[in-house]
Amino acid sequence: MALSTDLKPMNIKDTLEATGMKGKNMIFLDDWSRDQLAALFRAAELLEPFSRTQLDLLKGKILYTLFFQPSTRTRCSHEAAMLRMGGRVITETDPLHNSAMAKNESLHDGIRVLSQYADVLVLRHGDLDEVFSTLERLGDHACPIISGGFGHVTHPTQGLLDVYTAYRVIDKPLSEMRIIISTPDLSRARSGQSFALGAARMGAHIIYTGTSELKTPDVVRDKLTAMGASFEEHFDLDKAGNLDLMANADLLYLPGSSLKKEDPNREDFMKKVANHAFTLEDLQNLKKKTGRAIGIMHSLPRNDFEFDQAIDNTEFQLYFKQIGYSIPLRMALLAAICGVN
């Protein structure tokens, strides 16, 4: 047996530095290597004991949360994470009415100003093109920016917490996992697409199942191809076909399915949703057949038609566990980007 020559206790500062994220933006998960994400997950594990207490790693640091779209989990968990580490928070949930942007200040000018107040900013915005053009123009003239969801395409901190949940609860390496992303609308599934990018970067095999008219955006598919990801796509399967896919998977991820009640395509869409909705009995039958329990993940909030809520208090449920793991993961992310005291 060979002994390591550099054996030493794990140090949170060394682990955070190994992420290489200090001072950087968090936009897409494929921007980071497998080793960098693994270092972030190790840091999150070290911080788990403090996710309900406090330590002062970020004392004196300020987080600004700037949300142009509604949010509970993403905004509050980042704010809780900063507070748990001794930092402070400024929050704006309605900038088009409560900030200078109500007086036509541009996103560029707003962020450049806010960067004078904060050490890191979490931004949620519905217009992907506007955000990307703003980031390009800002260059180095802003504090680090974390995407709290841009357009329909990218939500990297949701993807990170989902990959971290899989890393913590599934008894096998991510590189051996088979993960299904299941929704009738893959084109607007930013949480599922970010999870896919992060899990694929860690070596997981991704299985998409959706509808042929609402496929994965080209920008995401191109990123998966560029990283050499292992993935497959299935379209227009009925419920039996989707259950067959689940029989060989470790996780089923539901990014959420919704359509306005007045939408003229709602009836057809709801029929397609039914092909991706499962009951507790379905999952129990799969376990009898395969000898394995498949984990069910959802980015939340959920609609009652998406899956059987009897799953909530069973071994298959992971969607509330995801919430618990979001705090240490986002503590690690903020500490990695800000740098620790």
The whole-number pLDDT of residue 3 equals 57
Give the range among 6-10, 46-50, 199-203 with minimum mean pLDDT. 6-10
pLDDT at 259 over 70: no
pLDDT at 58 over 60: yes
Q: Tens of pLDDT along 280-301?
A: 999 999 999 999 999 999 999 9
What single-letter amino acid sits at 149?
A: G
Tell me 115's DSSP state: T
Phi, psi of 333 (to 5 degrees): -65, -50
Phi, psi of 62 (to 5 degrees): -125, 130
Give the range among 28-42, 101-115, 268-282 with minimum mean pLDDT. 268-282
**Percent of the chain's residues with pLDDT above 90:** 89
Map residue 30 onto helix, strand or coil: helix
Distance CA 170, CA 15 (A): 23
The whole-number pLDDT of residue 86 equals 97
Phi, psi of 296 (to 5 degrees): -105, 120
Distance CA 98, CA 236 (A): 44
Q: How many CA atoms, within 13 angstroms, populate the side-chain half-sphere of residue 260?
A: 3
Q: Tens of pLDDT along 171-190?
A: 999 999 999 999 999 999 99
* Residue 268 binned pLDDT confidence (cut-offs 50, 70, 90): confident
Instruction: Kindly report the average pLDDT of the chain as a whole number.
Output: 94
Q: Tens of pLDDT along 103-154?
A: 999 999 999 999 999 999 999 999 999 999 999 999 999 999 999 999 999 9
The whole-number pLDDT of residue 263 equals 61
205: enclosing H helix or E strand: strand 205-210
